[in-house]
Amino acid sequence: MAVGLRHFGVDSLVVEKHASTLDFPKGRRVTTRTVEILRQWGLDEQVRTRSLPAAASLFSFEGHTLLGDDYERRALPFTQFKPTSPTRELICSQEHLEPVLRARAIGDADVRFSAELVDFSQDDHGVVASIDMAGQRVSVHASYLVAADGSHGHTRDRLGISRSGPGVLGHRLSVLFGADLGDRMASRASAVYWLRAGPAPAGSLFVAVDNKDRWLMSVPYDPDVQARESMTESRCLELVRAGLGDGSVDVSYLGHRFWDPTALVADRYRAGRVFLAGDAAHLTTPEGGLGMNCGIADVHNLAWKLAGVIAGWAAPALLDTYEPERRPHAVACAEASLGPARPPNPVDGLVLGHAFASAAIIDDGTPAPTPRNPVGEYIPMARPGHRAPHLWLGTSTSTLDLFGSDFVALTDPAGKPALDHAVELARTTGVPLSAHAVEAAGWHELYGVGAGGVVLVRPDGYVAWRTSTPPQTPHLLAAAVRTGAGHAASSTAG
Ligand X SMILES: Cc1cc2nc3c(=O)[nH]c(=O)nc-3n(C[C@H](O)[C@H](O)[C@H](O)COP(=O)(O)OP(=O)(O)OC[C@H]3O[C@@H](n4cnc5c(N)ncnc54)[C@H](O)[C@@H]3O)c2cc1C
Could you list the residues that contact ligand X (CB under 6 A)?
15-18, 26-29, 94, 116-117, 148-150, 153, 174, 259, 278-279, 286, 289-293, 295
Strands 145-147 and 163-168: unpaired
Give the Cβ contact number of residue 425 at 10 Å: 15
- The span from the first CA to the last CA of the chain, in angstroms, equals 35
Which candidate, 46, 60, 132, places its Cα nearest to that of 92? 46
Q: Which is nearer to ligand X, 291 or 384 (CB)?
A: 291
**Closest separation in Å from C-beta 21 to ligand X:** 8
Q: Which is nearer to ligand X, 271 or 311 (CB)?
A: 271
Q: Which is nearer to ligand X, 147 or 485 (CB)?
A: 147
**Closest separation in Å from C-beta 268 to ligand X:** 17
Q: Which is nearer to ligand X, 10 or 35 (CB)?
A: 35
d(CA 44, CA 86): 11
d(CA 333, CA 339): 10
Closest-approach residue to ligand X (CB) = 278
- Kind and range of the H or E element at 411? strand 407-411
Q: How far is CA 454 from CA 358, 438, 460, 465, 476, in A?
A: 20, 11, 18, 8, 11
d(CA 94, CA 101): 10
Q: Which is nearer to ligand X, 34 or 46 (CB)?
A: 34
Q: Which is nearer to ligand X, 18 or 74 (CB)?
A: 18
CA-based max dimension of the chain: 77
- Kind and range of the H or E element at 322? helix 322-336
Which candidate, 391, 363, 369, 326, places its Cα nearest to that of 464? 363
Sequence length of the chain is: 494
**Closest separation in Å from C-beta 129 to ligand X:** 9
Q: How distant is the alpha carbon of residue 241 from its chain centre?
A: 35
**Closest separation in Å from C-beta 319 to ligand X:** 19
**Closest separation in Å from C-beta 191 to ligand X:** 9
d(CA 384, CA 377): 19
**Closest separation in Å from C-beta 267 to ligand X:** 17
Q: Which is nearer to ligand X, 297 or 449 (CB)?
A: 297
